[in-house]
Amino acid sequence: MKRVFLIVLDSFGIGEMEDAAAYGDVNVNTLRSVSSSPFFHLPHLKRLGLFHIDGAVGGEREGEPLARVARMREASRGKDTTIGHWEIAGICSRKPLPTYPEGFPEEVLAPFREKTGRGVLCNLPYSGTQVIQEYGDAHMETGDLIVYTSADSVFQIAAHEEIVPLEQLYEYCRVARGILQGEHGVGRVIARPFLGPAGGPFTRTPHRHDFSLLPPETTMLDQLKDAGRDVIAVGKINDIFAGKGITEAVATGGNQEGIERTLEYMDRDFEGLCFVNLVDYDMLYGHRRDVDGYAKALSYFDGRLPELLGKMREDDVLMLTADHGCDPAYTATTDHTREHTPFLMYGKKVKPGNLGTRKTFADIGATVLQCFGMTPAFSGEGMLEVEGQL
């Protein structure tokens, strides 16, 4: 194979894992929940084989699948973006990244205040849209930074763009990233700029930027880059891997732009991987528990899928998967949900079939390398079988 397009439908889980209750998740299933919406319409994913996957509900199987499909089990201890993507690329995280349900300790905040010269507001788990409404005025009056977290392993800094210019906010995030290592090595430090008049309402701007922990081990991205292959990151992939193993990157403002950039890369000549994250399912609909919005976003992707398939060349492979769940109908929390994820692999040379349930997301990274005749430097088994292969 010459080109692999690996698209992560961020948070598109297909049913709880066996240990979901240990993560606070009971009877969660993102696919089942969104399939209840009148806006749910996935004819092309259905034809590829989405409902042939073990345990997939919400639609009927239609003939034999066109794709090679599997249900993926997460071996890492976690259910967040960083750990999910890292495992897809070959890193199994046996220890969860740290979270701060009661806020960050003084041993983190003291050096942060000292190095930024600014105070800290909030320091609690919070909704990102709610925290700026409640602390926005105090921030504008004092210049103190709104620091908050979530159920994820994140340190988030919100600041008004007219009070703290973007580059200064990004520098504060770099300061935090330098502090948050080792025991306090959160997965991501996130800049959350916003705008609005004194008194509100305040609105987040599209200038978010993530500063991720450097992946601690070799990934399939590193192996591809070291072998002279292209590794193109679309969306927040570059942030998640802190640029490690990536040769080219483009940021996107949402799913529509992510799909457009992917289509543009499909028109380009390169040899290697185009790794795409479509974030809207998680960011705009999963965490906000918007079932219809999630269903509409999935249906939009399904409607664009024929364009992606139509641009595939003889030696191309398209892979679709997810990094965790975020069941929009689960109201016990607004957190991610511990779920299996789907895997669909399509190509003109790829033999269709159902591979059952896999032991780790790392099989995806191993399969990407297998497409290029490479052996993974991590635990993972390739899933590729080519038509006509014995």
% of the chain at pLDDT higher than 90: 95
For residue 210, give the 3-state DSSP assignment. Answer: strand
Question: Who contacts 268 (Cβ-Cβ below 8 Å, separation ≥6)?
Answer: none
- Residue 206, classified by CB atoms within 10 Å of its CB into exposed (0-12), middle (13-18) or buried (19+), is exposed
At residue 151 the predicted structure's pLDDT band, cuts being 50, 70 and 90, is confident
State the span(s) of the chain assigned CATH 3.40.720.10. 3-97+214-371
Cis amide linkage into residue 201, ω under 30° from 0: yes
At residue 389 the predicted structure's pLDDT band, cuts being 50, 70 and 90, is low
Cα–Cα distance measured from residue 196 to residue 203, given in angstroms and rounded to the nearest whole number: 6
Question: What is 122-148 written as a DSSP string?
Answer: EEEE--HHHHHHHHHHHHHHH--EEEE
The pLDDT value given to residue 388: 64
Residues 126-159, buried b or exposed e (16+ Cβ, 10 A)?
bebeebbeebbbebbeeebbbbbbbbbbbbbbbb
- Whether 360 has a pLDDT exceeding 80, the answer reads yes
- Whether 390 has a pLDDT exceeding 50, the answer reads no
State the span(s) of the chain assigned CATH 3.30.70.1250. 119-212
- Element at 305 (helix H, strand E): helix 291-310
- Average pLDDT over the chain reads 96
Q: Which CATH superfamily is domain 119-212 in?
A: Phosphopentomutase (3.30.70.1250)
Which of 128, 165, 125, 164 minimizes the C-alpha distance to 145? 164
- Whether 63 has a pLDDT exceeding 70, the answer reads yes
Question: Who contacts 389 (Cβ-Cβ below 8 Å, separation ≥6)?
Answer: 351
Class of domain 3-97+214-371: alpha beta
**275-328 pLDDT per residue, tens:** 999 999 999 999 999 999 999 999 999 999 999 999 999 999 999 999 999 999
**219-242 pLDDT per residue, tens:** 999 999 999 999 999 999 999 999
Which of 152, 191, 156, 187 minimizes the C-alpha distance to 171? 191
Phi, psi of 166, deg, nearest 5: -55, -50
**109-141 pLDDT per residue, tens:** 999 999 999 999 999 999 999 999 999 999 999
Backbone torsion region of residue 58, taken as left when φ is above 0, otherwise alpha when ψ lies between -120 and 50, otherwise beta: left
**341 and 14 in contact (C-beta within 8 Å)?**
yes
pTM: 0.91
Kindly state the DSSP code that residue 346 receives in the 8-state scheme: E
